[in-house]
Structure formats: structure tokens, C-alpha cells
Amino acid sequence: RRIAEADSVAVIGLGRFGSSLALELMAGGTEVLGIDADEEIVQALNGELTQVVRADSTKSEVLKQLAVDEFDRVVVAIGSDITASILTCSVLLGMKIPVIWAKAVTEQHAVILEQLGVHHVIRPEAEMGRRVAHLVRGAALDYIEIEKGYAIVKTAPPARLHGVPLGQTALRKELGVTVAAFKRPGEEWRNADAETVLGPGDTVLIVGPTRKAEGFAQLR
Ligand code: ADP
């Protein structure tokens, strides 16, 4: 059965990263074609993905046979074998796949994939390491840098914000951040507005330049 429909993704390389990504796509209702050269890995994921195939992704005939060229989105999650990653990406680019995501294990690997023209190059270890650094530092409960220099931080609001409507706090002017949303204990997340009054047990989502958002999280 061919599964190259609109909401489907081909994931090449089903190691720790690729399999986790493929299973999460499946859980969200996306059809996934998984490809890996390792028979054991293919066996283990059989039945968990829409289709799992053992194949060498560096060969364009093989990818064509699997109808990978009909997919709009392909993820190359081959990491440690940099040669296989580069060759696979080159084949996919030749097939004019509209959106290719690829994982890189080193900075040089990432540079090469970008030079080839891969649309989205990700470095999971480097990115996760940076993110966890902000969590380890303490104040942030969660942290996502949207792009270099701009972040979303989940934190507790400092005492000076308690009991005052956000509109009266000059938060944006003085601290350079915006409270995007808040959550009271036991309640759902809600969008914040000028009338929102925060209290001691609340959690907030702060949006702003990374330095400022982080600075905010460190206020007590
Ligand atoms: P992780 O760190 O996420 O576990 P790895 O780089 O170790 O990632 O694993 C990548 C996967 O890609 C492995 O399961 C490996 O069998 C697969 N792989 C490597 N080369 C090829 C290839 N040429 N064709 C298909 N799959 C490949």
C-alpha cells in the first residue's frame, strides 16, 4: 500500500531520535513510512508505524521504489553515519522533495547539510543541551528559544506582580517582556491581558528577548 498522501511523512533512520519522532507523528494521526537499514530495528517497529521497510536510503532506485519521491515531507534521522546522511539528503534533494528535515550530529555535519540545501537542519543534542542549561540554571520551569535571541519561558511571577493588573505594571517598558499566558493552581492555561491579576501560586509564560525573558525568570 502506498501511503504518500497529504498528511504523511517518511522517516529515514529509525534510531533513538527517528523512532521517537516517528511514533509521536503516529500518535498525532500522521501516517508514517519508516525506513532503516537494520533488520532488527525494522522488526521492532513493525506494526507501530503505518509501514516499516528495511532499505538502504542512499540508493535513489530504492527510494523511488518505496515512492518516497511522492512525499511532501521527509525526515532524515541518520546521525552517526554522516556519509549515509549526506548521500540520502542529496538523493532526496535530487527528487525535489518539497520539505526535508535532517538531523546533524556535529556543527560541520550541519553546515554541509545546509550547503546542500536541506530545508531544516536540526541538532537535537546541541539544542537540548542549550535548553537544559537554562533549566539547570534554576528559575525557568521550561524554556524554548524560538530563534537565536528570542525565547518563551515558563516561570513563577515575581512578588512585585502579585495583586496588580498587568496593564498597570509597565512590564513591557521596564522589563522588556510580555506575559502571554498564565495558569492558576488546578486550572487550565489562559491568555493574559491587561486586566489579568497574578497571584503567588500562579505560573506564567513570558515572551521576549532571551536575556530579558531569562532575567524576568530570575526575579523573586
Ligand atoms: P540515534 O542517535 O537517533 O539513535 P543513529 O544515527 O545512531 O541515531 O541511528 C540512525 C539509524 O539510521 C540507525 O538505525 C541506522 O540503522 C540507520 N541508517 C544508517 N544508515 C542508513 C542507510 N544508509 N539507510 C537506511 N538507514 C540507515
Scanning the structure block, which residue is given the C-alpha cell 528495511? 54
**Burial (0-12, 13-18, 19+ Cβ within 10 Å), 83:** exposed
CA of 55 to the centre of ligand 1 (A): 11
Residue 79 domain boundaries = 8-122
1 inside domain: no
| CATH code assigned at 26 | 3.40.50.720
Pocket test for ligand 1, best of 81, 89, 101 (most atoms within 8 A of CB): 81
Q: Is the pTM of this model over 0.95?
A: no
Q: What is the mean pLDDT of each run of 10 residues along the chain (220 residues)?
A: 71 97 96 97 96 97 96 95 98 97 96 98 91 82 88 93 92 91 96 95 95 88
> Residue 14 in contact with residue 46, Cβ under 8 Å?
no
Question: Whose C-alpha lies nearest to ligand 1, atom 6?
Answer: 79
Q: Which three-class secondary structure state does DSSP give residue 47?
A: coil
Residues 115 and 155 in one domain: no
